[in-house]
Every structure is written in structure tokens, then in C-alpha cells.
Amino acid sequence: MTQIELTTHINAPIERCFDMARSIDLHLISTQQTREQAIAGRTSGLIELGETVTWRARHFGIWQTLTSKVTEFNYPYSFTDEMVSGAFKRFRHEHIFIPINSQTVMRDVFIFESPCGIIGEWANYLFLGRYMNNLLEKRNRVIKETAEGNQVE
């Protein structure tokens, strides 16, 4: 099992940051390099507690499909999404928001487990952990730029 933790400081109110993080449309902008699409469940707008979204994207040259569900939701302080089906054995992404005056600290805790036992663990160590970290950092940059009112593309 691999755990990635990221902290992003955003010069915007907590409610705006929370909504940007759960925006399907903004997620699609942040994953343009993988040609990601929302193909089932909530496919646009803001995802809510109990809703699912199915993503289709190209990773490592292979089209993959993954469905996640929002399993915890405490507006505007946190929400969690977990994989329902997909390539991972398991994944859980906790999104945590801490207000500081008119700014927000956005914290991600992303835990995933690859299939295939020891081979999956080696893949995590050799390249998959770094790949997932880079995807999350890109997503957070897009959220930050959008929440702060800067252009994204």
C-alpha cells in the first residue's frame, strides 16, 4: 500500500476551494494530458455524497476505466472518494480543507494498493507512486489557479 500526502496553500475562501476540488469539469481540465472523460454517474458539475463518477483515461498507453464514489462529505471541511471498480486493488482519497483567515490549506491523503501482490508493490515503488503524485500535484495547481481567479488551460 502506498500513501501520498500533499499540502497546497490557496489564497481563496474554504468554500470556493472545496467546490473546486469536487468539480468534475475542473478535474477534466487538470487531466487533459490523459484525455480523461467522465462517462457515467455524475459527469459534470459538483459531485455530492453518495454519488459516483466513472472516468475513462489513457495511462501508460492503455485506456482504463475507474469508478469512484464519494463516501464521506462534511461541507466545506472534507470529503472522501473511494474506488468502486478499476485497475487498483483499492484506493481512497481524502480531501481536507483548513481555513486560515481568508485563505485555505488544502490537504490530500491518497492511499492506494496495486493488484498483483509483490509485483504491484514493486510497480508502486519504481514508478506508479511518482506518477500518481505528479497527477495529484497537477490537479492541485489547477484548483489553486482557478480558486485564486487565474486563467487555467
What is the model's pTM?
Answer: 0.89
Q: Which domain holds residue 107?
A: 2-147
Q: What is the CATH number of the domain that holds 73?
A: 3.30.530.20
For position 68, what pLDDT does the model report?
97
pLDDT (tens digit, 9 = 90+) per residue, 79-135? 999 999 987 889 999 999 999 998 999 999 999 887 767 766 766 676 778 888 999
**Cβ-count burial of 121 within 10 angstroms (0-12 exposed, 13-18 middle, 19+ buried)?**
middle
Structural domain includes residue 152: no
Rounded to 10 degrees, the C-alpha dihedral 27/64/47/90 comes to -110
Structural domain includes residue 111: yes
Report the number of distinct structural domains present in the chain.
1
Residue 72: pLDDT over 70: yes
CA 16 to CA 21: how far, in whole Å? 9
Structural domain includes residue 153: no
Structural domain includes residue 99: yes
